[in-house]
Amino acid sequence: MSKTQVSKRQFSPTPFIDSISTSPSVEIEPSGSVDLKSIISKLSEEEKNELALILKYRRLVDYLATAQIYLKDNCLMTEPLKKEHIKPRLLGHFGTCPGISVVYIHCNRLIVKHNLDMFLVVGPGHGAPAVLANLHVSGELGEFYSQYNNSCEGVSRLIKDFSRDGGFPSHVNPQTPGCIHEGGELGYALAVSYGAVMDNPDLIVTCIVGDGEAETGPTATAWHSHKYIDPVDSGAVIPILNLNGFKISSVTIYGTMSDEDLIKIFNGYGYTARIVGHDVDHIDLDMSRAMEWAYQLIKKIQSAARSGKPIFKPHWPMIIMRIPKGLGTIKELHGKKVEGTYLSHQVPAKEPQTDEEEFKKLEQWLRSYKIEELIDLKTGAIHQELIDLCPKGRMRMGWNKHTNPEYHPLSLPNIKDFETKIDLSVRGTPKNQTSPTLQCGEYLSAVIEKNPGRFRIFSPDELESNKLNAVLKVTNRCYQWHEQMANRGGYVIEMLSEHTMQGFMQGYALTGRYGLFPSYEAFLGIITTMVIQYAKFQKLCFTLKWKHDSPAITYIESSTLWRQEHNGFSHQILVF
């Protein structure tokens, strides 16, 4: 089914690793940002027109995001704004929305240009208004939910329903077409994205990481994830750090880092990092070039590996997008700067129902998008030239086939073939025992052989300490940052990060494949909340008629309770 003709790889076991490999990595192109001025002067008319259209598109989706947060009536601003048009409780976060929409339209552009298999994972919290707005313009929201069709009534209903019972919540959630990652507990977008591209060689996932989210531990270590991507068997992620500099009431760490430090840290993580957005007036030009650059770098790395001449330690692309928080919102309120500060993080004007300055500036803000130039106000129909910027049919990100795959069970060996006979007459003697996990390893080897590219082991402890190492007779540990391990494929991933392993597994499973997570009982609790949130994600999925069932995710809990007396309390979680 894959466009890429990857020949089935021969398995050969990894040799004994007798040295650490400290060979330099390959940064493929110089990092940094681009001088836009000289480029602008050379743009063709066609290019200028495209940029003008993209800007119009962004006005439309930013309007729709703003309206979802504020309006319960007069949704297309056909009459003067009145206080009774404003929702009684203002929910949703505007600050992150303009950045999400910049990424969204440039994903669309790249998909159309190169006929790409791509979808988007949105990390920043409460960014649903932007995603819903984009899905409305492409027509997808109306296809999944007929009440939100491309009409006056449809768009008004979307705006009114947002963040109310029966409507979409302020986080991207499983009800959102194309979503495989929910917000809420932040920190997992990146790991989920990398899990999704494993064994999907033609897939590219663009992942937006919020700069608040980037402060979490899980995100901080997930930047290493590319080291587990073999470019022969797997696709690629384009991570985009949405650097708007602020959280609810203060700065973010990454927002206060200089360009130099940002380039250093992401180079150090093993990326070729590129900064976008220094000239916010030309951010679309900047971003379109950066996305094209990222795509070409990915193709270069993949082509090299797939033609048998892999680049060792390739520095995959990542983009740092500096963008003012709440771009386009009210500039100043009550004498304080709003756009580009934390005051635009959540709801920029908090009390427009009672505060005259806020009310006036809210109306100015809503009118600034000139929605009448973008939508036929009589029918609610979006101008065709804006719809035409979106991919068509199943190429649209909400419809991406990987985000809602059909359910296919694993092919399982006969468990009876792995039976251990117990001679009851000598029961209990060491010679008549076997380790359950040792035996399980044999069974898993057969599972791996019967399901190439559909089953992976995500192991935060090490496989050998859980005695599952029989699987290494049929597959490798996948790790690309060591000469002896690179370019050998492998369905076992070991990284001492429960969070990253769980994120990988979620991304892998929600795109239709099967994951196993072995863990010491003492350390499985590290991902308690992730597992709970994942179960809630699934619970919501069950309520959606259009959503296929997901493959199971499986845990092996080893080294339970009293077997850890020599390690003391610290290796037990339940015994207290």
Burial of 267 (0-12, 13-18, 19+ CB in 10 A): middle
| Least Å from the CB of residue 259 to a copy of itself | 7
Nearest to a copy of itself of 54, 209 (CB atom): 209
Q: Which amino acid is at 24?
A: P
Cβ proximity to a copy of itself, 257 vs 395, nearer residue: 257
CA angle 427, 430, 435 (to 5 degrees): 95
Q: State which residue, 296 or 469, has the beta carbon closest to a copy of itself.
A: 469
Minimum CB separation of residue 175 from a copy of itself in Å reads 9
The structure tokens listed for 356 are 């005259």
- What's the rounded Cα separation, in Å, for the pair 58 and 52? 10
Is 203 or 541 the residue whose CB approaches a copy of itself more closely? 541
Min CB(437)–a copy of itself separation in Å: 14
Residue 144 CB, nearest approach to a copy of itself (Å):
17
Q: Give the shortest CB-406-to-a copy of itself separation in angstroms.
A: 25
User: Shortest Cβ distance from residue 146 to a copy of itself (Å)?
Assistant: 22
Whole-number minimum distance, CB 247 to a copy of itself, in Å?
Answer: 6
Q: Which is nearer to a copy of itself, 98 or 139 (CB)?
A: 98
Can you tell me the distance from the alpha carbon of 357 to that of 50, in angstroms, rounded to the nearest whole number?
Answer: 37
464 DSSP assignment: G
Provide, rounded to whole angstroms, the least separation between the CB of residue 566 and a copy of itself: 5
> Angle CA(534)–CA(536)–CA(538) in degrees, nearest 5?
70
Nearer to a copy of itself, 200 or 341 (CB): 341
- Of the pair 400, 497, the CB lying nearest a copy of itself is at 497
| CB closer to a copy of itself, 13 vs 268 | 268
CA distance 12 to 411: 23
How does 354-383 read in b/e, with b if 16+ C-beta sit within 10 Å? eeeebbebbbebbeebebeebbeeeebebb
DSSP string, 108-163: HHHHHHHT-EEEEEE-STT-HHHHHHHHHHTTHHHHHSGGG-SSHHHHHHHHHHTT
CB of 211 to a copy of itself, least distance (A): 9
Q: What is the 3-state secondary structure (H, E, C) of 182-231?
A: CCCCCCCHHHHHHHHHCCCCCEEEEEEEECCHHHCHHHHHHHHHHHHCCC
Residue 368 is encoded by which pair of tokens? 């600034």
Nearest to 56 by CA among 379, 374, 388, 375: 374
In 10 A of CB 78, how many CB atoms?
11
Query: Which CB sits closer to a copy of itself, 252 or 288?
Result: 252
Nearer to a copy of itself, 165 or 406 (CB): 165
Q: Within 10 A of 203 (CB to CB), how many other CB atoms are there?
A: 22
Terminal CA-CA length for the chain:
52
Min separation Cβ 297 and a copy of itself, Å: 18
Task: Specify the length of the chain in residues.
Answer: 576
Nearer to a copy of itself, 153 or 462 (CB): 462
Q: Look at the alpha carbons of 450, 451, 453, 459 in this order and tell me if their dihedral is positive or negative.
A: negative
We find the least distance from the C-beta atom of residue 35 to a copy of itself, in angstroms, to be 18
- Residue 408 CB, nearest approach to a copy of itself (Å): 27
Quick one: three-class SS letters along 394-448? HHCHHHCHHHCCCCCCCCCCCHHHHCCCCCHHHCCCHHHCCCHHHHHHHHHHHHH
Asked if 272 and 317 count as a contact pair (C-beta separation under 8 A), the reply is yes
- Name the phi and psi angles at 275, rounded to 5: -95, 135
- Residue nearer to a copy of itself on the CB measure, 217 or 436: 217
